[in-house]
Amino acid sequence: MTMIALIDYGMGNLRSVHKALEYVGGRVTLTDAPADVTRADGVILPGVGNFGDGMEHLRSRGLADAVVRAIAAGKPFLGICLGMQMLLDSSEEAPGVAGLGVFRGRVVRFPEGREKVPHMGWNSITVKQSCRCLEQVADGTFFYFVHSFYAAPEDPSVVAASCSYMVDFAAALGRDNIFATQFHPEKSQNGGLAILRSFVGSVGDAAPKQ
């Protein structure tokens, strides 16, 4: 059977992600061990909180390098919220702290004074590219967001879906075996479950056949 490594690096409650993955048929191991990430058929990096704290926790556990190696090896990878932001080079939230650098670009704060920050609650997305994880998601589907910063990649072609809140921003990024969301699929009812189900399917398809 295929195994998905759900990375626990001390940032956020993973219970809802774990339960949602099991609900759609995923076999999940909650882990903070780089060796488990290496062995896994698919990898999920979730997270909430501060960019600098997240990177410190990943690096102190040896997980940053394990994540980059897993992505380079072609394993299906899903980043959620902070787990998406850390894929970029840097963030205004933590000046001087390097991200994973999987996508070129930075994470920026929403502008002050026009709307409430954080952007919190349900908002609709516009699908920008065809990819496995969005196959069962209709344009205009609503997802649940909680964030004060958003990803601004240098290459617009990696934006898989966009959303509008004061500015148009990347709601999801995608390239090859990588898919990542600013919203929380595990809190987004049917739309979120559709994404997780498609990801679990992609892990099964990519895993070595026995």
CA distances from 4 to 42, 54, 76, 79, 83 (A): 5, 21, 9, 13, 16
Mean pLDDT, residues 72-85 taken together: 98
pLDDT band at 210 (very low <50, low <70, confident <90, very high): low
**Residue 1: is its pLDDT beyond 80?**
no
Q: Is 109 helix (H, G, I), strand (E, B) or coil?
A: strand
* Residues contacting 101, CB < 8 A, separation 6+: 68, 87, 88, 89
Residue spans of the domains in the chain: they are 4-206
Work out the average pLDDT over 55-61. 97
Give the CA count within 13 Å in the CB-facing half-sphere of 149: 23
Residue 66 has pLDDT above 80, yes or no: yes
Strand 178-181 to strand 77-80: parallel, antiparallel, or no bridges (unpaired)? parallel
Q: What pLDDT is recorded for position 51?
A: 98
Q: What is the pLDDT of residue 184?
A: 97
Give per-residue pLDDT as tens, 85-136.
Answer: 999 999 999 999 999 999 999 999 999 877 899 999 999 999 999 999 999 9
Of the pLDDT bands very low, low, confident and very high (cuts 50, 70, 90), residue 207 is: confident
pLDDT at residue 11 in the model: 86
Q: What integer pLDDT is reported at residue 153 of this predicted model? A: 98
Cβ atoms < 10 Å from Cβ of 206: 15
> Strand ranges (DSSP E) for 81-199?
90-91, 105-109, 119-124, 126-127, 142-147, 149-153, 159-165, 167-175, 178-181
Residue 3: C-alpha distances to residues 29, 42, 44, 171, 186 (Å) = 7, 7, 11, 27, 19
Q: Which two tokens stand for residue 190?
A: 């049917």
* CATH of 4-206 given 3.40.190.10, 3.40.50.880, 3.30.1330.10, 3.30.43.10: 3.40.50.880
Catalogue the active-site residues. 81, 184, 186
Between CA 204 and CA 49 the distance in angstroms is 31
3-state secondary structure of 178: strand
Query: Is pLDDT of 24 > 80?
Result: yes
Residue 113: what pLDDT? 77
- Per residue in 156-179, pLDDT (tens digit) is 999 999 999 999 999 999 999 999
Q: What is the pLDDT of residue 163?
A: 98
Q: Look at the alpha carbons of 77, 81, 83, 89 in this order and tell me if their dihedral is positive or negative.
A: positive
pLDDT tens readout for residues 149-160:
999 999 999 999
- Reference 14, options 2, 6, 4, 25; nearest CA is 6
